[in-house]
Amino acid sequence: MQVARHVVCALSGGVDSAVAALLLRRRGYQVTGVFMKNWDSLDEHGVCTADRDCEDAYRVCQILDIPFHQVSYVKEYWNDVFSDFLSEYEKGRTPNPDIVCNKHIKFSCFFHYAVDNLAVKLLQAADSFKDQTFFLSQVSQDALRRTLFPLGGLTKDFVKKIAAENRLHHVLQKKESMGICFVGKRNFENFILQYLQPRPGKFISIEDNRVLGTHKGWFLYTLGQRARIGGLREPWYVVEKDGTKGDVFVAPRTDHPALYRDLLRTSRVHWIAEEPPAALVRDKMMECHFRFRHQMALVPCVLTLNQDGTVWVTAVKAVRALAPGQFAVFYKGDECLGSGKILRLGPSAYLLQKGKSKPRVSTEGPSDGPGSGPGLGPTL
């Protein structure tokens, strides 16, 4: 008995999704192309840039002779992704909307649309070159079992070669989509201040408490980034933030010890396998690797499991620019285990060198009381 193989392919209007649909069709799947509209630019410029992408996606379906559908999740994207994005910045955290978007839009709204309306069977696969596991680390097991990644193992050059050989020239030269998920590249400060009220504050030296300049809002800065302070020749970098007073603490040099930490605590971890690894449950500790930015080198670490499902992450070596709000994504070998949002940080190497027991800044997160974490206690 042969099972009918129907798949839905999300078409963005770019070359990757176009070739993905082509490869699925070549492999015998009955493919339906769907374009998702998740952001309405009319509110900002009076022109909806998604229209061109939709037209390109439609042309792909015409060329490949597959059905075309269009869905809109503008309201859902605003409520579940963008509002959370603004809220995280307002709290002074550094969010990652691509992970949240995959969780709530692509693998929830779109997934249920496909199953309910198109009776699509989605299968799981892997991409070993242009790895997307970081961004998929919050997606449910149920959705991943029904997901297929047809570009797995292919280089970008080979993807473009396939597109050129199959008359998909109109998407061949398009630039990679960058910036905020579905919103795109913007002047970050101007964009955020359209939605959040400015909260002026001071740039303060972490070394001697000198006021070096002013800013429009502490939530506009993430740990590790360069703070562009007028009148200063040398670069200074954000090392801590005080949300109560609105101050941003900065340090000279990109390798200043105030930028390095080796301890963090996450929110309740989303495990891809739905349950924590057996070794972690058995021993309450487990060696693995993690990253908190896409494509950064994996960092060896030790996880300590807490009763509420959160974990302490102790890095073997101090890591630069850990940022609350980002996701710590865990790996064991080639397998992505899952991820948890970074809520609390341990003291920086600078504070440890100075012998200070009370760090300067508060970060939001679950509290266990003094000395409850592995090794040194967290930043409280």
Q: Which residues are catalytic?
A: 101, 181
Exposure string for 71-91, b = 16+ CB within 10 A, e = fewer: eebbeebbebbbebbbebbbe
- Tokens for 240, please give them: 């801590």
- Tokens for 172, please give them: 């061949």
CA geometry: angle 106, 51, 97, nearest 5 deg: 35
Q: In degrees rounded to 5, what are phi and psi of residue 105? A: -105, -65
Handedness of CA 15, 17, 18, 23 (dihedral sign): positive
Using the 8-state DSSP alphabet, how is residue 269 labeled? -
Handedness of CA 277, 149, 156, 171 (dihedral sign): negative
* H or E element that contains 231: none
Nearest one of 267, 209, 197 to 240, comparing CA atoms? 209
